Structure 1
């Protein structure tokens, strides 16, 4: 019995530490000892933030450590958030909605960009010129990300479903390579990999639709936000500093992106041309965009049909933090 009690105590203790994630509280529990944020090549704002160390400056007085983790896609960022290995994660809005529908404990508190970061791509000699041409073809996509959701919405718009094609599940960079080497017929692309394929392999974006690109969401773990609301404000303040800097310094931002992602400057510049950094406050336009995406994802079976999409969107998006920090 004594050994059982010790084992039970150890299990409960481990569960408690896991629930705390990467941010353990200080002696007075008023601020975290460490904050873990992701950075991503599809989020130039996060790269600017990391480059200049503005988070470290913001939390210097509290002595809070800042740790950066690379997310290769929304699916990775959401895995990190759900597992508690990061506190803030960069994703597409629709990907965050899918995660929320599966009870991921996250909320969106900031918009880092409005991108056209995804489109459907094929090689110039593929003979694919429209979405209808995808029927019976192999299409690479990263499940649980905006490019995958973009693909599903494009198929739906043209009277097709995922059952009419062969979806080849690959991470974004692997999908780009699979297209370049002819292992797939088409690819639901993501920048900067998509921009690189355009410029370096003459891949063609045969279907583009800005409206089907959901916004760049900065998400926070709900438990972190509840315990450290002031820390959330400070992270948003630092992100806002990076956003404004990126707006005012596009060439330098492209240089940072090129260095971090190890891509040519022309590729980085093309990616940045497809990003709008003008509206960081989550609002009605973002809710409406997610409702439209959610309706399609329910019809495709990617979101449980019993869920209320509008309620789900409202649970996900919390504009109060950004409105408090920078206004509405």
Structure 2
């Protein structure tokens, strides 16, 4: 039996379990729309080598790549049906799902430590307590913003105790280095670049507050095109295994795409990214359950929202089981 037929059978069976009654023959897919992001090196590798274009060429399906500057953008594109599959942080995906974005997460593209709280090298800020009354840049709807809120709680501070400046990640770095804000909830590779090139300091790190890299699919796309979704995940798997085997080359791709130095890219890929566990599981469910209270504490979701139910509906632990290569 051909590999593609096996994938279709596996994906169809998985989708029938996840979407009972919804799996049916879909019209041929003319265009497959995905995002790529500098916080997702796997997507950069996949786009660079054209493996999806190669796989879908015989079907007459074109591949459209859309740059996501942050989780907020990826989730906006998914909600607007501008892309079919997009990458975001786990807690950001939960926030979007709870507020109506119709997505599921069948794959984990990495376990990163991609955010921390950053200050200039000459800053007098040394601890979380020192942030009271300060201007802090962060991109709303992303892991760094939610990291900031959770970090403030560690120090007994509230959002009202600081002045939040809403900027996209790259602009947050510029604002910090120009002294327009006192601190910044950073995101790699911008954060690593600020550290290595400008001497910026990380005053608070907590890898447990960095939620995983979620590859999200629109529910209607996953239901109508399970075989195509499976092929995307297989391609992500190919890219993931390639990065594990070739981290220096992966860093070069990140360096070229994000226009950062090679040392910055190596810091992100070798020291702050874990590509070992791509299958959504109870580990990811638990991480979101621990993080979810911040969404209710800060009134980021409607009162009475059953976040545990939303988490279980978001994290699809079954679809990718037959597609994952164990490492």
What TM-score do the two structures reach when normalised by structure 2?
0.90
Q: Does 1:238 align with 2:235?
A: yes
Aligned length: 301
The one of 221, 225, 244 equivalent to 1:224 is: 221
What's the secondary structure of 1:320's corresponding residue?
coil
- Determine the structure 2 residue equivalent to 1:214: 211
Kindly indicate whether the alpha-carbon contact (under 8 Å) linking 1:37 and 1:87 is maintained by their aligned counterparts in 2.
yes
- Determine the structure 1 residue equivalent to 2:11: none
The one of 183, 186, 201 equivalent to 2:180 is: 183
- Determine the structure 2 residue equivalent to 1:8: none
Structure 2 CA distance for partners of 1:127 and 1:242, relative to 1, 3 Å = same
- Determine the structure 1 residue equivalent to 2:123: 126
The one of 187, 192, 205 equivalent to 2:189 is: 192
CA distance, structure 2, for counterparts of residue 92 and residue 186 of structure 1: 21
What's the secondary structure of 1:223's corresponding residue?
helix
- Determine the structure 2 residue equivalent to 1:249: 246
Q: Does 1:288 align with 2:286?
A: yes
What TM-score do the two structures reach when normalised by structure 1?
0.90
Structure 2 CA distance for partners of 1:99 and 1:156, relative to 1, 3 Å = same
Kindly indicate whether the alpha-carbon contact (under 8 Å) linking 1:89 and 1:219 is maintained by their aligned counterparts in 2.
yes
The one of 163, 170, 175 equivalent to 1:173 is: 170
Kindly indicate whether the alpha-carbon contact (under 8 Å) linking 1:294 and 1:303 is maintained by their aligned counterparts in 2.
no
The one of 295, 298, 302 equivalent to 2:296 is: 298
The one of 61, 73, 78 equivalent to 2:75 is: 78
Point out 4+ residue stretches in structure 1 off by more than 6 angstroms.
Answer: none
Superposed, which structure 2 residues align to 1:73-112 within 5 Å?
73-112=70-109
CA distance, structure 1, for counterparts of residue 123 and residue 242 of structure 2: 41
Shift of 1:327: 6.8
Let me know the Cα RMSD of the aligned residues. Answer: 1.1
Shift of 1:320: 1.9
Shift of 1:293: 1.2
- Determine the structure 2 residue equivalent to 1:263: 260
Shift of 1:29: 3.4
1:65-112: CA deviations, max 9, x gaps? 111000000000001000011011110000000001111011111000
Kindly indicate whether the alpha-carbon contact (under 8 Å) linking 1:232 and 1:321 is maintained by their aligned counterparts in 2.
no
Shift of 1:178: 0.2
1:96-145: CA deviations, max 9, x gaps? 00001111011111000000000000012211111111000000000000
Q: Does 1:63 align with 2:60?
A: yes
Superposed, which structure 2 residues align to 1:303-318 within 5 Å?
303-318=301-316
CA distance, structure 1, for counterparts of residue 230 and residue 323 of structure 2: 6
CA distance, structure 1, for counterparts of residue 303 and residue 157 of structure 2: 19
Shift of 1:30: 4.4
Shift of 1:31: 3.3
Shift of 1:53: 0.7
CA distance, structure 2, for counterparts of residue 132 and residue 92 of structure 1: 26
1:35-89: CA deviations, max 9, x gaps? 0100000000000000111111221221211110000000000010000110111
Kindly indicate whether the alpha-carbon contact (under 8 Å) linking 1:117 and 1:191 is maintained by their aligned counterparts in 2.
yes
Structure 1 residues not aligned, in runs of 5+: 1-27
Kindly indicate whether the alpha-carbon contact (under 8 Å) linking 1:30 and 1:228 is maintained by their aligned counterparts in 2.
no
The one of 319, 322, 325 equivalent to 1:321 is: 319
